[in-house]
Amino acid sequence: MNKEAKLKKKIAEAKKQLAILQDEKDGFPKREAGMKIQIARKKRGLKQEELANLLGVSRTTLANIEGGKQSMTIKALINICRELRLNANKLLNVR
């Protein structure tokens, strides 16, 4: 691996760490919630496009939510929980 590739890899890792720290700072686990949504969607056998259509959002929006890059609205949260049969409290780690 050349120096440029190593540098790009280090930058990508730093960006991931920054995203995790930002989640913690905001007090909302976007990345963790997104992973849970993705796992639940796959367990239901739905593609991103299919779930996005059920939710009335674009596939890109759903991909960004699953990737922890975008927060979801309350309406989206309710719809996601309904469609995937998830408990909102567990999804958001509310006790």
**Structural domains for the chain:** 29-91 (1.10.260.40)
Per the confidence metrics, is the pTM higher than 0.85? no
DSSP string, the chain: --HHHHHHHHHHHHHHHHHHHHHHHHT--HHHHHHHHHHHHHHTT--HHHHHHHHTS-HHHHHHHHTTSS---HHHHHHHHHHHT--HHHHTT--
pLDDT recorded at residue 22 = 56
Which position has the higher pLDDT, 34 or 28? 34
Which position has the higher pLDDT, 31 or 1? 31
